[in-house]
């Protein structure tokens, strides 16, 4: 029996190199070994208010990006979360299994709600982890490939699945998080103490977008903040900028970190950055070429079929859950 693998990305803003290397690439590399699901987390996007027109565009853009990044609809079920209504109900049920303390301890919540005060924080930001719990449990998921920032949410999923199974009888499969050893937290090129996000405070100079103009992307890598040690060495504590670039190169090419260090021993940062820029630009160029070959009709057909197949499984799991609760 193939293992079930599932991941999702919020369609808010343009996808970054961090999204690709931290989550999508790990998924693509394993999609034929597993029963694979990937979804556009559009319900997660509305946890804070969004312009409906922009959201619609972002959703379409996100589906196209999955395909351009190598997600294969013959091997993977691709769907929009809002097309499978069971996500809402399952998220609702899982919210009621959760303590406020558990949600208050989520690092993402603490980070994003900082300084907003109780009146300023959207409830969506507080409860979205339980929606994610529902997303994972609906498909009897075994493996969830995500970046390091989402690890805690998968751990919450395990806790809630265990709690539910103990209270109401064996219902959910216990999922495992998959965090790749390299590239699980791609850092901002201008501030290598922060994660690379879809938007940053410095005109996005520290973020590489997958649809970015190749020349702009090259400039961003060439002007990435490093240090004055002039040594290409993987040392996240003392050389976070250089270590981040080594991770990017290693993850794209599959070359071992030690081999990269050896190849660039005694060489300057300029030469090293040029190689990183070359490999990143090649990657972006491949993704962008594939993106241009896609049409709205193709995307529609793929997600309509995907939703139909996803719904079949989601409906069964939700029915089983409701039965366990006495709601059948």
**Smallest gap, in angstroms, from Cβ of residue 122 to ligand AMP?**
16
**Smallest gap, in angstroms, from Cβ of residue 9 to ligand AMP?**
4
**Burial of 53 by CB count in 10 Å (0-12 exposed, 13-18 middle, 19+ buried)?**
exposed
Q: Which residue is nearest to ligand AMP (CB)?
A: 22
Exposed e or buried b per residue across 204-237, where buried means at least 16 C-beta atoms within 10 angstroms of its C-beta: bbbbbbbebeeeebbebbeebbbeeeebbebeee
Kindly list the distances between the CA atom of residue 64 and the CA atoms of 79, 213, 293, in Å, as whole numbers in the listed order. 12, 17, 10
* Closer to ligand AMP by Cβ: residue 163 or 185: 185
Kindly write down the DSSP assignment for every residue of 248-284, as one continuous string. HHHHHH---HHHHHHHTTT--HHHHHHHHHHHHHHHH
Active site residues: 112, 195, 198
- Tell how strand 35-40 and strand 76-80 pair up: parallel
Query: With left for phi above 0 and alpha for psi between -120 and 50, is residue 172 left, alpha or beta?
Result: beta
**Smallest gap, in angstroms, from Cβ of residue 297 to ligand AMP?**
26
**Smallest gap, in angstroms, from Cβ of residue 251 to ligand AMP?**
10
* Residues at the interface with ligand AMP (CB under 6 A): 9-10, 18-19, 22-23, 146-147, 149-150, 184-186, 195-196
* Closer to ligand AMP by Cβ: residue 9 or 133: 9
* Closer to ligand AMP by Cβ: residue 128 or 164: 128
* Closer to ligand AMP by Cβ: residue 77 or 196: 196
Exposed e or buried b per residue across 30-49, where buried means at least 16 C-beta atoms within 10 angstroms of its C-beta: bbeebbbbbbbbbbbbbbee
Q: At a CB cut-off of 8 Å and minimum separation 6, what does 69 contact?
A: 20, 24, 25, 28, 210, 287
Residue 284: closest CA among 56, 39, 21, 59: 21
Give the number of other Cβ atoms within 10 Å of residue 9's Cβ.
Answer: 21
| Tokens standing for residue 309 | 């197949």
* Closer to ligand AMP by Cβ: residue 73 or 147: 147
**Smallest gap, in angstroms, from Cβ of residue 246 to ligand AMP?**
14
* Closer to ligand AMP by Cβ: residue 4 or 324: 4
CA dihedral sign of residues 23, 26, 31, 33 = negative
């Amino acid at each position: 029996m193939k293992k079930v693998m599932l991941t999702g990305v919020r369609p808010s803003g343009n996808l970054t190199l961090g999204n690709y290397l931290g989550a999508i690439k790990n998924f693509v590399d394993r999609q034929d070994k597993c029963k694979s699901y990937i979804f556009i987390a559009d319900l997660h996007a509305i946890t804070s208010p969004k312009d409906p027109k922009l959201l619609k565009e972002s959703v379409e853009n996100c589906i196209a990006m999955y395909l351009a990044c190598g997600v294969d609809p013959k091997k993977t079920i691709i769907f929009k979360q809002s097309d499978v209504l069971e996500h809402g109900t399952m998220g609702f049920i899982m919210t009621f299994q959760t303590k406020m303390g558990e949600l208050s301890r989520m690092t993402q919540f603490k980070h994003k709600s900082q300084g907003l005060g109780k009146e300023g924080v959207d409830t969506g930001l507080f409860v979205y982890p339980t929606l994610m719990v529902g997303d994972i449990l609906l498909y009897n998921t075994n493996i969830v490939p995500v970046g390091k920032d989402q690890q805690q949410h998968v751990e919450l999923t395990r806790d809630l699945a265990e709690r539910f199974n103990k209270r109401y009888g064996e219902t959910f499969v216990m999922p495992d998080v998959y965090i790749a050893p390299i590239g699980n937290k791609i850092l901002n090129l201008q501030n290598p103490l922060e994660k690379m996000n879809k938007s940053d405070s410095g005109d996005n100079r520290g973020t590489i977008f997958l649809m970015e103009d190749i020349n702009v992307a090259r400039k961003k890598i060439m002007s990435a903040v490093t240090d004055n040690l002039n040594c290409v060495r993987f040392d996240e504590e003392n050389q976070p900028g250089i270590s981040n670039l080594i991770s990017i190169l290693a993850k794209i090419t599959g070359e071992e970190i030690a081999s990269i260090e050896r190849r660039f021993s005694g060489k300057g940062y300029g030469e090293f950055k040029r190689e990183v820029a070359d490999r990143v630009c090649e990657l972006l160029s491949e993704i962008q070429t594939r993106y241009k070959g896609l049409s709205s009709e193709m995307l529609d057909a793929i997600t309509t079929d995907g939703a139909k197949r996803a719904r079949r499984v989601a409906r069964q799991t939700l029915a089983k859950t409701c039965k366990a609760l006495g709601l059948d």
